[in-house]
Structure 1
Amino acid sequence: MSTNSPSTTAPVSESVAALVRRARALSALGGRRILGITGAPGAGKSTLCAALIAALGDSAVLVGMDGFHLANNELNRLGRRERKGAPDTFDVGGYVHLLARLSAQTEGTIYAPVFDRSLEESIGGAVGISASVPLVITEGNYLLHGTHGWDAVAENLDEIWYLDEPADVLEERLVLRRRAHGDSIEAATAWVRDVDLANAHLVEQCRDRADLIVHVTQTSDLPNPAASPTTDERVAR
């Protein structure tokens, strides 16, 4: 499992094809392996995961952190609805428990939730993970975060990759994403400045704990993450 200790590896640039090869090698080690993909909002996590799943086929399945958003009613009760997507707005214990079950799985099917952006709520039992699948890929902002219980995530992961992108690239992608959902340029810019980039700063502080810090190259043939988000539109991937 990942040690969650500071990385001694310098950031590298890799193509999607090279990362597919690395993920395939991990899946071939035998037994169940879990790969974590993390990085700041807008770093391209969902896009890379989609490419990995497409390339690996039946050898991999995606389980997103976003399925563990607290329900809106609970966020209202806690007074956190306007910060949905912050580290303390998830069922972290439930996520950690699922990862532990998936790590130890040897038979049957385990079910995971997904987040439905159209409903802005999680749906339980939406993804079935068979014991025969060698690689589980999980992605999210806070896989390396150290508070609110997130520190327990890494011990259930075999590798954690941190996607590294400069701040100006993140900001441009995030504003475009907000605009794609109908925000005015003023509203999009304000949200990215006040919410997304604040979360990005939290995530970036943990980057040195990753097993691989990577800038993904040759992404022009991949889908635009701004056009096809997989989670709450307010939580940039």
Structure 2
Amino acid sequence: MPEQLANQQAALARIQSFLSDSTERVLIGIIGKPGAGKSTLSKFLMSKLPKEFVTVVPMDGYHLSNKVLKDLKRADRKGAPDTFDVAGFASLVKRIRSEQTQNIYYPIFDRAIEESIAAQGVVTSDTKVVIIEGNYLLHDAGGWEAVKDLLDESWMVDVDDDKRIARLISRHIAYGKEPEAAKAWAKGTDEANAQLIERGRARADFVVRID
């Protein structure tokens, strides 16, 4: 069963210890249901840590494009495990682990346009801790099972589900959905994905409570 990290400060202290003590690059996966607060935790950590040595790599850059999703008839399930370039993402994580003497570029997902922008982020050769952020880092099917063993630690973000769903609805509205459509997506597609993500909780090394 996962151990507990009581709050954001405990998570910060753990990364600071890696920066002080580790001689090798450390990869930490932050996992959570949609709206759980993965990005909130990552932003807090990055506000307290030296950016020349720590970076965040979001899984979301590996969303399949809207055109590809439409062609595959998966557009109404965007965010599900099979709507990502899983092999491409796993290859990136392998490179981050093994190629530590060169810069590695990766795509960033832009919510404003609902598409990814290539080579927008970079892991430099100076980076000592990489925070890999995503929903399916503990998923055990569809190619995702390759990811967990590439991480040094995996942290599951824990949050009250009512707060999480309310946050999701607000986010969908902020990015252009009508209120009823936002509610339907949060309680439909997002919730189906949330239940899938929850199944990976027992495989996490730590559970982090941030609310």
TM-score range, shorter chain: over 0.9
Contact 1:37 1:161 (8 Å CA) reproduced: yes
Residue 30 (structure 1) aligns with:
23
In 1: Cα distance, 2:70 partner to 2:174 partner: 27
In 1: Cα distance, 2:192 partner to 2:116 partner: 24
Residue range with higher mean Cα deviation, 175-184 or 49-58: 175-184
Where does 1:76-91 land on structure 2 (aligned, <5 Å)?
76-91=70-85
Contact 1:13 1:216 (8 Å CA) reproduced: no
In 1: Cα distance, 2:173 partner to 2:114 partner: 18
Question: Which residue, 6, 12, 19 being the options, matches 1:20?
Answer: 12
Change (3 A) 1:94 1:182: closer
Where does 1:1-20 land on structure 2 (aligned, <5 Å)?
8-9=1-2, 12=4, 14-20=6-12
2:24 equivalent to 1:68: no
CA RMSD of aligned residues (A): 1.5
Cα displacement string for residues 51-103 of structure 1 (whole angstroms, at most 9, x for unaligned residues): 11121122201111001011122112211112111100000001111101110
In 1: Cα distance, 2:37 partner to 2:26 partner: 22
2:164 equivalent to 1:175: no
Change (3 A) 1:9 1:147: closer
In 1: Cα distance, 2:18 partner to 2:46 partner: 14
Question: Which residue, 38, 43, 47 being the options, matches 1:54?
Answer: 47
Q: Unpaired segments of 5 or more residues in structure 1?
A: 1-7, 218-237
Contact 1:34 1:103 (8 Å CA) reproduced: yes
Aligned residue for 2:6, secondary structure, equals strand
Residue 155 (structure 2) aligns with:
161
Q: How far off its partner does 1:182 sit?
A: 4.3
Give the letter aligned to residue 19 of structure 1: A
Q: How far off its partner does 1:116 sit?
A: 1.7
Where does 1:102-113 land on structure 2 (aligned, <5 Å)?
102-113=96-107
Give the letter aligned to residue 35 of structure 1: I
Aligned identity (percent) is: 43
Question: Which residue, 119, 122, 127 being the options, matches 2:116?
Answer: 122
In 2: Cα distance, 1:133 partner to 1:48 partner: 19
2:128 equivalent to 1:134: yes
Q: Unpaired segments of 5 or more residues in structure 2?
A: none
Aligned length: 209
Residue 86 (structure 2) aligns with:
92
Residue 183 (structure 2) aligns with:
189
Contact 1:32 1:105 (8 Å CA) reproduced: no
Contact 2:2 2:204 (8 Å CA) reproduced: no
Contact 2:80 2:193 (8 Å CA) reproduced: yes
Q: Report the TM-score, using the length of structure 1 for normalisation.
A: 0.83
In 2: Cα distance, 1:44 partner to 1:113 partner: 21
Residue range with higher mean Cα deviation, 151-160 or 19-28: 19-28
Q: How far off its partner does 1:187 sit?
A: 2.2
In 2: Cα distance, 1:110 partner to 1:32 partner: 14
Aligned residue for 2:164, secondary structure, equals helix
